[in-house]
Chains A and B, each alone.
Chain A
Amino acid sequence: MSVEVITGNHAAGYALSAAGEANRSARGVACGIYPITPQTEIVEYVAKYPFSKGRVVPVESEHSAMAVSMGASISGARSFTASSANGLAYMAENVMVAGYYRLPIVMVAVNRTLGPPWNIWADQGDTLMLRDFAWLQFYCEDNQEVLDTTLLAFRLAEDRRILLPILVCMDAFIVSHTQTETALPEQADVDRFLPDLDLPHRIHSGEARTLGGLAWPHEGLSMRLEIDEAMKRVPDVYRECRTAFEETFGRDPGGAVQTFATEDADVILVASGTMATTAREVVRQRRDAGEKIGLVKLKMYRPFPAVELLAACETATRVAVLDRNYAAGEGGIFCQDTRAAFQGRRDDLLIQNYLTGLCGGDVTPTVIDEILADLSMRSEAGEPVWIGIDAGEEN
C-alpha cells in the first residue's frame, strides 16, 4: 500500500481500474466512457489503464456509455462508468434499465448543478434525480472515502443477495479536484477483496431467453418485489462488506450511517458529503463548549437507512436536515426521506429543513452556525429555510 497526494477523481479512477483488473481471471471488464466536467479525469484515468483483460469503449454519449457497460455486464464481465449532471440526465433512460436488469454496475458520479443557470459546481440534484431507479446511492466526503466506497461498492453490488447497481457520489471540485493524502491499496489486496464475478443471470450462448422483454403485471410485480427484498438486505450485507474491507485493507471504510457525538445529543445535524466534514468541526467545537449537539452523516441514501437514523436520533428533540439539493416546490430531498422515516415513530421530534450550498454555494462553519441559530429559535418546524439568500437585497 502506498500513500499519495491525489484528487478525488484520481482516487475514483484508481478504484474503478483496480476493481476491473481484479476480474482478469474471470470474464474481464469492459465499460463505456464519456467526458463531462467535473468527472472527466475519472474516465481519462480508466482509458489509459493497461487492463490485462479489458476494453474501454469511448462512445458518443452517456446514454451509450451506460449501454456499453450494460452489454458487458449482461455478458458476465465487471463493469462501471462515471458521469455528472447533464451526463446523468442524458443517461437516465439507461440508468433505469441497468437497475431493473439487476446489473452490478458501479458508477461514480461527481455531483454537479443541473442548469440552467449553467454552473459546474457542487449540487446533489443530478444523482437524486435518479433516486427511484433501483440503484444504491452512497455520498462520500473525502478522497479516501471515495476510493474505499468504490471498491466496497463492487463487492456489495455483486453479492448474490443484492445484484443491484451502485452510485458512488462526491461533491464537485471540493472532493473531485482537491488533492489530499490517500492510501492506495495493492492490486493483490483488491484481487482478494473482489472475487471473480459470476453473474447468475448473464447471457449464455446455448440458452434461449429474452432479457428485459415483455412481462405481464404479476411477473413484473414479483420482479419489483425481488428488488425491494434485495434493498432490505443492503444494511446487513453492507456491514459484512465493511468488515471484509477492514480485514483486507486494514482500514474502516465507514458505516452506512456515521454518527458523531450523538449519544446524549439534544440537537442533531443531518448532513451528507462535504457538508458533513464542516458540520462535524462545528459540532466538535460546540461540544467542547458544553452543548449537547451531534451529527449524523448519511453516507447511504438508497436504500434510506431509516432504522439507523432513528436510533442515532434517540435522545434528540431537534433535528436540522441540510440539503444541497432542491426538489422544486417541495424542498430538500434528504429531509423528505428523513421526515418519512420518523413519521408515526417520533412525531415529537422537530425536523427542520435547510437548503444550503445549492448551485455550488459554500457551506462554511458560519452557515452551520446560522442554521443552528435558526433551529434554536423554533418552537415548531416550518417551511424549508433557504440559506444564503441575501435579505439585505430584498425590497
Chain B
Amino acid sequence: MAATVPSIPCKDECLLRPGNTNCGGCGMSVGLTMLGRALADAGDTCTLVIPACCGIVTAGAFPTTSYGVPTIATTFASSSALASGVASIRDLNGESGQVICWAGDGGTYDIGLATLSAAAERNENIIYICYDNEIYGNTGGQRSSATPAGARTTTTPFGKTEGKKDMMSIMAAHRIPYAATLSIAHPEDFARKISTALSMKGMRFLLMHSPCPTGWKSEPADSVELVRMAVASGLFPLYEVYDGDGYCINAHPDDSDPAEYFERQRRFDDDEIDFNATRKACSERMRYLELLAEEFPHARD
C-alpha cells in the first residue's frame, strides 16, 4: 500500500468532491457540503475518520477519493477510538486541524456506542458527527436503534415496535462540552453549530437528521422538506447542550402535524401509525426540553 499511494492535494471548501456515488437526495451530500463550507469559513481543516457505513462507500475506490481531506476508514465500532489516537498525536505535535468522526447511526447508537461513550468520558479532543438516517443503509436497510417505531426495514418487515433511542440525552449525560442536533433544512443554524464546535476543545457531538430516500422509500426531491417537517412538528428538535447541563432550543415547532412526515415516506404504513400518540409524544418531548432550557439555560454571549 505504502509504495502505490498517489498524492492528491486538498482543495479548500471541497470536502465532498463531485462525482461521488451518493444516492440522489442523500442527507450526507448536503451535510458534508455544509460541513466543508463551515470549515473553510473558519479557515480550519480536518481529517475524517469514518467507520463502515455509507459514508465510507462515498469515498469511492482506491486510488481516487471523493473526500478532499485525509480520510481513514475504520472498523464499524472503532471510529471514536481510532480518532482518539489521531487527535493525541496531533495534539502532542502542536498541530492544527480537526479530527472529525463521520459515522452512521448504526456505528453510533449500536455497535460503536461503548467506544463512543468511552471517548466522551475521556473528553477526547474530537468532533463526532452522526448522520442519522435511521437505518443501516450500507447493508441494504436493516433496523438500528435509531429507527423510529412503525418503520418497516428488512429486519422489521412488519414495522418496528420499539421507539428510537434518545442518543442526545445519552451524550449529554456524559457532560461533554457540546452536544447539538443538526438539520440540513436549517443551514444557518447548522453552520453556526459547526463553527461553535470548531471553536471548542474536547468531545463535541453533533447529531444530524439525514434523509435516506432509498431506505425511507421517499422521493429524493423531498429530502430537505422531510427533515424540515421533522423539526417543525417536534419530531426532531433542534437544540444544544453545553457541558451536559446548559440547554438551548434553536427552533420552536410551529404546531405542524407530524402526520404528513409519515405519509410521505413509504417505510411507514399510515394505517398502523397512531398519530395521536405521536403528536402527544412530540409535544411531551418538546415540553421536557423547554423545561430543561428554562431551568438550565445555556448563557449565550
A binds B: yes
A residues apposed to B, CB below 8 Å? 27-28, 30, 32, 53-55, 57, 59-61, 63-65, 67-77, 79, 93-94, 97, 100-102, 160, 163, 200-201, 203-216, 219, 222-223, 226
**Could you name 27 residue pairs across A and B whose Cβ atoms are closer than 8 Å?**
A27-B89, A32-B81, A53-B92, A59-B115, A60-B117, A63-B115, A64-B77, A64-B118, A67-B75, A70-B82, A70-B85, A73-B85, A75-B86, A76-B89, A203-B47, A207-B7, A208-B68, A208-B69, A208-B71, A209-B5, A210-B67, A210-B71, A210-B72, A213-B73, A214-B57, A216-B61, A223-B1
A219, B92: Cβ atoms under 8 Å? no
A60 CB to closest chain B CB (Å) equals: 4
Q: Mark B105-138, 1 if CB is under 8 A from A, else 0.
A: 0000000001101100010000000000000000
Given known contacts A64-B81, A205-B47, A211 and B72 CB-to-CB distance under 8 angstroms: yes
Q: Does B88 contact A (CB under 8 A)?
A: yes
Measured as residues with beta carbon below 8 angstroms from the partner, the interface class of chain B is 35 or more
Q: Does B231 contact A (CB under 8 A)?
A: no
B85, A30: Cβ atoms under 8 Å? yes
B65, A209: Cβ atoms under 8 Å? yes
B70, A55: Cβ atoms under 8 Å? no
Residues of B within 8 A of A77 (CB): 88-89, 92
B59, A213: Cβ atoms under 8 Å? yes
Residues of B within 8 A of A222 (CB): 4
Q: Does B18 contact A (CB under 8 A)?
A: no
B178 CB to closest chain A CB (Å) equals: 21
A71, B85: Cβ atoms under 8 Å? yes
Residues of B within 8 A of A211 (CB): 70-73
Residues of A within 8 A of B9 (CB): 206-208
Residues of B within 8 A of A76 (CB): 89
Residues of A within 8 A of B1 (CB): 100-102, 201, 223, 226
Q: Does B148 contact A (CB under 8 A)?
A: no
Residues of B within 8 A of A64 (CB): 77-78, 81, 115, 118
Residues of A within 8 A of B65 (CB): 208-210, 213
Instruction: Return the chain A residue nearest B121 by Cβ.
Output: A60
B70, A204: Cβ atoms under 8 Å? yes
Given known contacts A30-B92, A72-B86, A74-B85, A212 and B74 CB-to-CB distance under 8 angstroms: yes
Interface residues of B in 73-107 (CB under 8 A from A): 73-75, 77-78, 81-93, 95-97
Q: Mark B2-13, 1 if CB is under 8 A from A, else 0.
A: 111111111100
Q: Does B56 contact A (CB under 8 A)?
A: yes
A-B pairs with lowest CB-CB distance, top 6 = A71-B85, A67-B81, A64-B81, A60-B118, A75-B89, A212-B73
A30, B89: Cβ atoms under 8 Å? yes
Given known contacts A27-B93, A28-B93, A209-B71, A203 and B61 CB-to-CB distance under 8 angstroms: no
Given known contacts A207-B9, A213-B56, A219-B62, A69 and B95 CB-to-CB distance under 8 angstroms: no
Q: Does B45 contact A (CB under 8 A)?
A: yes
Instruction: Return the chain B residue nearest A75 by Cβ.
Output: B89
Interface residues of B in 30-55 (CB under 8 A from A): 45, 47, 49
B89, A208: Cβ atoms under 8 Å? no
B74, A67: Cβ atoms under 8 Å? yes
A221 CB to closest chain B CB (Å) equals: 12
Rounded to whole angstroms, the CA-CA distance of A86 and B88 in the bound complex is: 27
A59, B118: Cβ atoms under 8 Å? yes
- Residue of A75, A203, A211, A222 with highest tally of chain B CB at under 10 A: A75
Residues of B within 8 A of A65 (CB): 81
B12 CB to closest chain A CB (Å) equals: 11
Rounded to whole angstroms, the CA-CA distance of A187 and B88 in the bound complex is: 24
Residues of B within 8 A of A54 (CB): 92
Q: Does B202 contact A (CB under 8 A)?
A: no
Instruction: Return the chain A residue nearest B77 by Cβ.
Output: A63
Instruction: Return the chain A residue nearest B2 by Cβ.
Output: A201
Instruction: Return the chain B residue nearest A60 by Cβ.
Output: B118
B75, A97: Cβ atoms under 8 Å? yes
Rounded to whole angstroms, the CA-CA distance of A108 and B86 in the bound complex is: 22
Q: Mark B139-168, 1 if CB is under 8 A from A, else 0.
A: 000000000000000000000000000000
Rounded to whole angstroms, the CA-CA distance of A189 and B84 in the bound complex is: 31
Residues of A within 8 A of B71 (CB): 208-211, 213
Residues of B within 8 A of A60 (CB): 114-115, 117-118
Q: Does B60 contact A (CB under 8 A)?
A: yes
Q: Does B63 contact A (CB under 8 A)?
A: yes
A210, B82: Cβ atoms under 8 Å? no
Rounded to whole angstroms, the CA-CA distance of A60 and B84 in the bound complex is: 12
Option from B11, B78, B92, B122 in Cβ contact (under 8 Å) with A28:
B92
A203, B72: Cβ atoms under 8 Å? yes
- Residue of B2, B61, B81 with highest tally of chain A CB at under 10 A: B81
A203, B86: Cβ atoms under 8 Å? yes
Sample of 9 more A-B contacts, CB < 8 Å, known A68-B84, A72-B85, A212-B73:
A61-B114, A64-B78, A67-B81, A201-B5, A203-B86, A205-B70, A210-B62, A213-B62, A214-B61
Residues of A within 8 A of B70 (CB): 203-205, 207-209, 211
Residues of B within 8 A of A69 (CB): 85
Rounded to whole angstroms, the CA-CA distance of A160 and B4 in the bound complex is: 14
Rounded to whole angstroms, the CA-CA distance of A59 and B67 in the bound complex is: 29
Instruction: Return the chain B residue nearest A58 by Cβ.
Output: B122
Residues of A within 8 A of B97 (CB): 205
A207, B10: Cβ atoms under 8 Å? yes
B199 CB to closest chain A CB (Å) equals: 19
Instruction: Return the chain A residue nearest B71 by Cβ.
Output: A210
A79 CB to closest chain B CB (Å) equals: 7
A77 CB to closest chain B CB (Å) equals: 5
Residues of A within 8 A of B63 (CB): 209, 219
Rounded to whole angstroms, the CA-CA distance of A226 and B131 in the bound complex is: 36
Given known contacts A63-B115, A206-B9, A200 and B78 CB-to-CB distance under 8 angstroms: no
B28 CB to closest chain A CB (Å) equals: 15
- Residue of A67, A201, A203, A215 with highest tally of chain B CB at under 10 A: A67
B74, A213: Cβ atoms under 8 Å? no
Rounded to whole angstroms, the CA-CA distance of A206 and B85 in the bound complex is: 19
Instruction: Return the chain A residue nearest B78 by Cβ.
Output: A67
Instruction: Return the chain A residue nearest B89 by Cβ.
Output: A75
A67, B8: Cβ atoms under 8 Å? no
Option from A55, A94, A208 in Cβ contact (under 8 Å) with B78:
A94
A74, B92: Cβ atoms under 8 Å? no
Residues of A within 8 A of B74 (CB): 67, 70, 97, 212
